[in-house]
Chains A and B, each alone.
Chain A
């Protein structure tokens, strides 16, 4: 081609061709501008966003900022963080600018915004305060159409709505401080986040209407996987929120099909709640001016269990006063009660008429169910207290109950009159009540925070009547008392804090009784003081009369919650009727005195009994001084004129009985019992002088008849026949010093001496009948030679054996000396005795003996063996 021609051809091309070519280029440019985007360098992008935010306290960072010529802007990540650590992160975002609006410099030149995965949180906290899955908005017709999916804590919130763009215009006109905004919204969101953790919501709807121009439809739902116990559960709820642009009056109408409020040990569920709430703005502050809440039914579960039928709570506020009104019209409760808060005083007026039998409300305590109220009527009347001198008690009230029972206490009639303070504290000045066996008058005070109460009761008191009103501490005081039909007069003050720390209650009371029984111990005219505080329960009396005399003293039981090792502290002074009052110190004591039978003894005792735990078994401390007035019986043996002192310190018990009489013999005894170690050991020194043999034998016989002093040998197939032998008035003197394990006398070791004086000693059942045994040997002895009147037996106790080497049996004509041992375990005797004729009797006797039977001439000793009750007697012949 000739270049000149080509040039000319172009030059000469028509205007149409040029236009088409230009139009083609334009279209290509439009296509390019529309769809091609340019990535802004990181540095420039960050500078740009910093410039936009324009706040020195805030750091901003943006990644992959892309701009298309068609007006599309996108980014991959934005992070904005203020100096306090509150951060806003957006993972992805797209904005579409409206080019025409942009060229016209119109406000908010946007077609749409889409932001994804937005998080608001603090760098100091693990979880975000607020998360948005997305925020999408289209801008059309001067309105923003919003679609938001967000979550706070475990609640997901979906919001769709319409917002006029003018709203943003107005917002823009206000000074905007991003740092402050982040800080404040951070605090707000943190609080909302914290609170929302307490809520569990199911199918909740909120519709907000702001001056008819903006409307939002929100759904709120807790995530199904959320399992934590919530304080509040709300199900199937619809709330309408209407207000004007300036928020001067907000009307909230709502209904909730089911709602639950849970606190430890108690939940309160209400059903079909409708609520109308008006909030108004006064002096830039929002104030509830009216709230009307109706509840169709409600149930309580936990410590309180039951249901309440429809009721209504109405709050109303005006210039004069704020009132809360409780209204209920059901079979069980008929009430209109108004709490009115005026400038200087808060008062209640109205009434509650309860028919307790129609009210199903149970209280659970220590796994037992108590009907809170039962009976015919319980009426409360509240009035403004015009007779209120101090101004402290603006409400007066009256309570009337007929055939009424609280917590299943016996049915009674009550009449109270009282006052209620500004702080809702309650003062009942006069109360009269008749319940069960009690007829009392008194007064009552109740304050709040803490819920402190004080009862003051006076009258015929049957304390178990109000067992159910208090925890077990009250019941346990009275469980050991029994009252006759003659109800004692009581004067009590009981104070404490309802639901407070265990053991906070205090009781002081005096019972003036004509008849009373404590653990089977019957008393006559007695004045008993009861004092219960956080440390102990004290039962104290200066004078308790009983069938045997009078006694004073106290019993102190440390409160269980104190975890004291001590079970009981006691002090007694006076005549103690042991038989009647053997159980008052508890089972252990009762067991230890099983073998003692004493109608009364004068005593002074002080001590403490420890709880029977493995580490302090048998541990107790006490000191007892006693003196018997009448004979007492120990294992059936009568002991009279005794006095002594027994002390127990920790595991060591020592006793000193300087004087007592058994069978007209005077005795003394000291002992020391050591309970330390695996078994108890006793060390004692006992002596009894000149006890009357006859009496002692009689006593042993009686004791045996009563079941005492039985051992294994008594359980033989052939029980020993009852002795018909009559003992003369001989005497027995015995002393014994021994020690060994208390529960195994066969391991005792010690020494002793027994001296038995008896004119017909040979005839008593000693060694199977001494005289009988000797006579069976057919030894030719002169008449009377086998008559003995004294036995002297020094012995050594060595485990199962009683060893004696100098047993001497003296008689006017003869003397037997013996040594040997008695095995207490088997009851067998092994003894060699020598018979000596006393006073150098003439030899013919010996000769006669020799004549009598040769080899008897060789006889020098007697051998007594076998069962000690019926031993075998044999003569040992000398081999010489």
Chain B
């Protein structure tokens, strides 16, 4: 009986041990350094690199969701470098070799794997779990290194064979781990911008700008528009300025006299304001400036060229636009030169008219809207070369000959706001004009050929329409004078030729030298070769135009016997008539071609 009991007990113990062993082997099999790493890296809040030999260390901590380098200086970390480190670490192949306890049994010591007190060390920790790597020597097969890994969860020190890239990861390059620019506010979020320079006599020169949607304007030292694109370019230069190194020593900082921090840049964005101060470097390293941020203790070093970005904003960033005329808003535009005046005015039905007048006579005609727009566009494109006086001081008007201007331009808008611009020449250069803007109270130099632009030939602005609005074209005849050939186009036959030719207009007026058999253009005699006749519904009212032969790709002269004006045809009409004429030539037998 006793024997049976003993046998049963023994069998139980053996089975129990077998079960324990199987559980234990499952447990140990389930441990994976990769999984452990995933767990730590996913919740990581600290990394430390230690290179005893080089006496170097780098430590990064996570505070809330932001990573920062905390040792040897304090500065936001480069999260992309961090991601690269994490991903590579988690994807390495980890081949476990030996547990450290077993080394002695194998007759080996850690030194055999190149691991000692001076080995480079990487520590990562998160969620009360940390893993340390001591990097040893290269394996004999190359491509890998030996690493001693201590996982706090299993409290085992194991030697692993790991991809040699871990050695590269452990090399400490401080600048790679930090954000290199000191302004963190993105370009689109910057709302205010200010630069101040302290002078020796405790005076401060400040220039400030503020953003309103896409536009920027100066608030200090004057109220005025800034050129938004130049501001963007300026901001980009500031944002792109790279830190060349850091200085964490408080002693150094304290050694810089307060008066040396002469320049202050203030940037507001995301409802937060950060200021940066800059001072020349103390030591002999020329070509560098030192900067500090109101949000960080660490000072940073920049190339001295950076300071060029901070100079002269009021000139560099000021809007150079002098005219901003819109045909929709302007009601009157008047140019006076001596006794002669040309006026562009809007009629009651919102159509532009051009009036030419001198002391005794005045002549008004319907204007061409597109020509007026084009004229305004050219004026709007004028850009200030130099601000001569802003605001205009006493004597400035006389100094810049504005008391006797060559042109005087008056602009009035729908709300009867009026502005007067005076134009004169103060330099010998033909295209450089001095302009006085009375509303903005400024005198500036503008490069534009105003002599040509403002010397208006009213014919240029005359409406290009040759058939009156109420003339309903029923039939068009194109006849050739010499050959008595006629091409007939009738309404209602869906002919594109009819459609194009019935919108008869001029491209530009050349002169009013119309003669029955031709005209003179730039000294050349141009005879009439064709006649274009329009008939309306009443059959009686024919409108006829004389046409020359085609003179060029874009030149075909016409004449209106009634107004006696000579004009050039627009391209669309030139192309159409050209096609009709060539069709007619190809079909010589056809006397009348009905299209």
Q: Cβ of B329: which chain A residues have Cβ within 8 Å of it? A: 386
Within 8 A of A (CB), among B265-282: none
Q: A219-B87, A386-B329 are in contact. List 8 more A-B contacts (CB 8 A).
A: A24-B15, A34-B19, A34-B22, A160-B34, A217-B83, A336-B236, A350-B232, A509-B552
In-complex Cβ contact of B42 among A23, A162, A383 (8 A): A162
Cα of A491 to Cα of B18 in the assembled complex, Å? 103
Decide if B583 is an interface residue (CB 8 Å cutoff): no
| CB atoms of A417 and B213 under 8 A apart | no
Could you mark each residue 276-291 of chain A with 1 if its beta carbon is under 8 Å from any beta carbon of chain B, else 0? 1000000000000010
User: If A338-B229, A389-B327, A458-B554 touch, does A238 touch B83 (CB 8 Å cutoff)?
Assistant: yes
Q: Cβ of A325: which chain B residues have Cβ within 8 Å of it? A: 187, 232
User: If A217-B41, A338-B229 touch, does A31 touch B5 (CB 8 Å cutoff)?
Assistant: no
Which one, A313-321, A713-721, A822-830, is touching chain B?
A313-321
| CB atoms of A492 and B186 under 8 A apart | no
| CB atoms of A340 and B214 under 8 A apart | yes
Tell me the smallest distance from the CB of B31 to a CB of chain A, in Å: 10
Decide if B88 is an interface residue (CB 8 Å cutoff): yes
User: If A456-B554, A510-B552 touch, does A388 touch B8 (CB 8 Å cutoff)?
Assistant: no
Tell me the smallest distance from the CB of B241 to a CB of chain A, in Å: 11
Which one, A9-17, A114-122, A174-182, A222-230, is touching chain B?
A9-17
In-complex Cβ contact of A429 among B19, B236, B374 (8 A): B374
Q: Cβ of B19: which chain A residues have Cβ within 8 Å of it? A: 27, 30-31, 34
Q: Cβ of A239: which chain B residues have Cβ within 8 Å of it? A: 83
| CB atoms of B373 and A388 under 8 A apart | yes
Tell me the smallest distance from the CB of B490 to a CB of chain A, in Å: 28
Q: Cβ of A240: which chain B residues have Cβ within 8 Å of it? A: 79-80, 83
Decide if B411 is an interface residue (CB 8 Å cutoff): no
User: If A334-B233, A491-B554 touch, does A24 touch B327 (CB 8 Å cutoff)?
Assistant: no
Decide if A253 is an interface residue (CB 8 Å cutoff): yes
Please list the 6 inter-chain residue pairs (A to B) with the smallest Cβ-Cβ separation, ordered nearest first: A491-B552, A493-B553, A387-B376, A350-B229, A336-B229, A27-B15
| CB atoms of B381 and A417 under 8 A apart | yes
Could you mark each residue 456-467 of chain A with 1 if its beta carbon is under 8 Å from any beta carbon of chain B, else 0? 101000000000
Cα of A240 to Cα of B378 in the assembled complex, Å? 49
Q: Cβ of B34: which chain A residues have Cβ within 8 Å of it? A: 147, 160
| CB atoms of B11 and A24 under 8 A apart | yes
| CB atoms of B553 and A509 under 8 A apart | yes
Within 8 A of A (CB), among B153-203: 186-188
User: If A31-B19, A240-B80 touch, does A338 touch B377 (CB 8 Å cutoff)?
Assistant: no
User: If A292-B187, A387-B373, A510-B553 touch, does A27 touch B16 (CB 8 Å cutoff)?
Assistant: yes
Cα of A386 to Cα of B377 in the assembled complex, Å? 8
| CB atoms of A23 and B80 under 8 A apart | no
Could you mark each residue 326-340 of chain A with 1 if its beta carbon is under 8 Å from any beta carbon of chain B, else 0? 010100001111101
Cα of A307 to Cα of B117 in the assembled complex, Å? 50
Decide if B512 is an interface residue (CB 8 Å cutoff): no
Q: Cβ of A512: which chain B residues have Cβ within 8 Å of it? A: 552
Q: Cβ of B377: which chain A residues have Cβ within 8 Å of it? A: 385, 387, 396, 417, 419
**How many interface residues does chain A have, given as a range?**
35 or more
| CB atoms of B8 and A253 under 8 A apart | no
Within 8 A of A (CB), among B490-532: none
Mostly, the B contact residues are: helix
Decide if B541 is an interface residue (CB 8 Å cutoff): no
Within 8 A of A (CB), among B68-102: 79-81, 83-84, 86-88, 90-91
Please, which residue of chain B has its CB at the minimum distance from the CB of A20?
A: B8
| CB atoms of A389 and B87 under 8 A apart | no
Cα of A217 to Cα of B552 in the assembled complex, Å? 69
Mostly, the A contact residues are: strand
16 contacts between A and B (CB under 8 A): A17-B4, A215-B41, A217-B41, A217-B83, A217-B90, A238-B83, A238-B87, A290-B186, A320-B213, A327-B233, A336-B229, A338-B232, A387-B373, A492-B553, A492-B554, A493-B571
Could you mark each residue 1-22 of chain B with 1 if its beta carbon is under 8 Å from any beta carbon of chain A, else 0? 1001100110110011011001
Within 8 A of A (CB), among B4-59: 4-5, 8-9, 11-12, 15-16, 18-19, 22, 30, 32, 34-35, 38-39, 41-42
In-complex Cβ contact of B186 among A21, A292, A351 (8 A): A292
Decide if B230 is an interface residue (CB 8 Å cutoff): yes
Cα of A255 to Cα of B180 in the assembled complex, Å? 14
Cα of A217 to Cα of B42 in the assembled complex, Å? 9
Decide if B324 is an interface residue (CB 8 Å cutoff): yes
In-complex Cβ contact of A386 among B32, B324, B555 (8 A): B324
Decide if A259 is an interface residue (CB 8 Å cutoff): no
In-complex Cβ contact of B380 among A338, A383, A442, A490 (8 A): A383
Decide if B369 is an interface residue (CB 8 Å cutoff): yes
Tell me the smallest distance from the CB of B202 to a CB of chain A, in Å: 34
Cα of A423 to Cα of B240 in the assembled complex, Å? 33
Decide if B237 is an interface residue (CB 8 Å cutoff): yes
Q: Cβ of A770: which chain B residues have Cβ within 8 Å of it? A: none
Tell me the smallest distance from the CB of A533 to a CB of chain B, in Å: 13
| CB atoms of A160 and B38 under 8 A apart | yes
Q: Cβ of B81: which chain A residues have Cβ within 8 Å of it? A: 238
Please, which residue of chain A has its CB at the minimum distance from the CB of B352?
A: A389
Decide if B249 is an interface residue (CB 8 Å cutoff): no
Decide if B325 is an interface residue (CB 8 Å cutoff): yes
Q: Cβ of A14: which chain B residues have Cβ within 8 Å of it? A: 5
Decide if A381 is an interface residue (CB 8 Å cutoff): yes
| CB atoms of B381 and A381 under 8 A apart | yes
| CB atoms of A21 and B8 under 8 A apart | yes
Q: Cβ of B186: which chain A residues have Cβ within 8 Å of it? A: 276, 290, 292
| CB atoms of B39 and A162 under 8 A apart | yes
Decide if A760 is an interface residue (CB 8 Å cutoff): no
| CB atoms of B87 and A218 under 8 A apart | yes
| CB atoms of B381 and A396 under 8 A apart | yes
| CB atoms of A381 and B383 under 8 A apart | yes
Q: Cβ of B15: which chain A residues have Cβ within 8 Å of it? A: 24, 27-28, 31
User: If A34-B22, A329-B236, A383-B380 touch, does A217 touch B86 (CB 8 Å cutoff)?
Assistant: yes
Decide if A615 is an interface residue (CB 8 Å cutoff): no
Q: Cβ of B419: which chain A residues have Cβ within 8 Å of it? A: none
| CB atoms of A20 and B9 under 8 A apart | yes
Decide if A545 is an interface residue (CB 8 Å cutoff): no
Within 8 A of B (CB), among A401-446: 417, 419, 429-430, 442
Within 8 A of B (CB), among A261-317: 276, 290, 292, 294, 310, 312, 314, 316
| CB atoms of A396 and B380 under 8 A apart | yes
| CB atoms of B84 and A205 under 8 A apart | yes
User: If A329-B233, A492-B553 touch, does A207 touch B86 (CB 8 Å cutoff)?
Assistant: yes
User: If A24-B11, A31-B19, A160-B38 touch, does A508 touch B380 (CB 8 Å cutoff)?
Assistant: no
Q: Cβ of B552: which chain A residues have Cβ within 8 Å of it? A: 458, 490-492, 509-510, 512
Tell me the smallest distance from the CB of A219 to a CB of chain B, in Å: 5
Tell me the smallest distance from the CB of A545 to a CB of chain B, in Å: 16
Within 8 A of A (CB), among B219-259: 228-230, 232-233, 236-237, 240
Decide if B65 is an interface residue (CB 8 Å cutoff): yes
| CB atoms of A145 and B86 under 8 A apart | no
Cα of A162 to Cα of B36 in the assembled complex, Å? 11
Please, which residue of chain A has its CB at the minimum distance from the CB of B64?
A: A212
Please, which residue of chain A has its CB at the minimum distance from the CB of B447?
A: A400
Could you mark each residue 197-215 of chain A with 1 if its beta carbon is under 8 Å from any beta carbon of chain B, else 0? 0000000011100001011
Decide if A346 is an interface residue (CB 8 Å cutoff): no
| CB atoms of B1 and A13 under 8 A apart | yes
Decide if A667 is an interface residue (CB 8 Å cutoff): no
Decide if B440 is an interface residue (CB 8 Å cutoff): no
Could you mark each residue 128-148 of chain A with 1 if its beta carbon is under 8 Å from any beta carbon of chain B, else 0? 000000000010000101010
Please, which residue of chain B has its CB at the minimum distance from the CB of A112?
A: B30
Cα of A79 to Cα of B91 in the assembled complex, Å? 30
Decide if A360 is an interface residue (CB 8 Å cutoff): no
Tell me the smallest distance from the CB of B461 to a CB of chain A, in Å: 14
Could you mark each residue 1-43 of chain A with 1 if its beta carbon is under 8 Å from any beta carbon of chain B, else 0? 0000000010001101100110110011011001100000000
Decide if B326 is an interface residue (CB 8 Å cutoff): yes
